Every structure is written in structure tokens, then in C-alpha cells.
Amino acid sequence: MDNFCLAHGYGIRAGYPSTKLLRSSSRAVRRQIRGRVIIALTANSHYALDGIRPRARVRSLTHRLARDTAFRIGRNTWYVLRHGRSDGLLKVQRGRVQEVGILARQVSRSRGTLRRVLHSFPDA
């Protein structure tokens, strides 16, 4: 992950595919994602994903979040939202949205691939 510091201590974190993730991907996907950012996250409340900002309570968002897009990995629950050319990503801990971000569509086509991607960013 690379950290891009913006103003007031908030920044954007960008993640690249790991070697393990590249090996487990098809040749076509490998060509599309090698050396590119596949995940970008921020805790800055100036950014929102479909009106959802960091520090929002998940309880108030349950009507917008489908259960089949939730992945529990460690202390985090990740929600994937279909969103235009890329997919939206919410990182949730203890009932609050910690970070919002985007995820490359090439790595979110199937649940298995998506789970491998999220596991490849353990500190995210």
C-alpha cells in the first residue's frame, strides 16, 4: 500500500496486487492489473460513496447494504457496492464505517477473487 498524504492528516491509501494475487489470477486479468492500483481507500469525511461517509453507522445503512456483499476478514467487515466502472468498498469496524474507497472491477467479478483480494491487504 502507498499512502498519499493530503491535508489535515488524512490521505488516500492505494494498493497494488501482490505476487500471490497475480499468480492466482487468469492471464488476461494479470495483464490488466499488474502494476496498477486495484484498491484505494480513505478515512477523510470529505469523500463519500453513494452518500456514505466515514464514521457513518452501519445500522442506518442496512437498507443499502446487501448481505451477500459482506466479507468478514479479521476485525474488518468489508462491503462491496456495485458502482459504475469500478466498485465501491466500505471498511467497517464495530458498526462504523472506517474507510470508503473504490476497487477495480477486474478483481471483483467473483466472490472468490474478491475474497483473495481483500485477504491480500491484511493491514488495510
Q: Kind and range of the H or E element at 96?
A: strand 96-103
Note the maximum CA span of the chain.
41
pLDDT for res 123: 62
The string of pLDDT tens digits covering residues 34-83 is: 888 989 999 988 888 888 899 999 887 766 676 657 888 889 999 888 76
Domain layout of the chain by residue ranges: 2-119
The total number of residues shown for the chain amounts to 124
The pTM of this model reads: 0.82
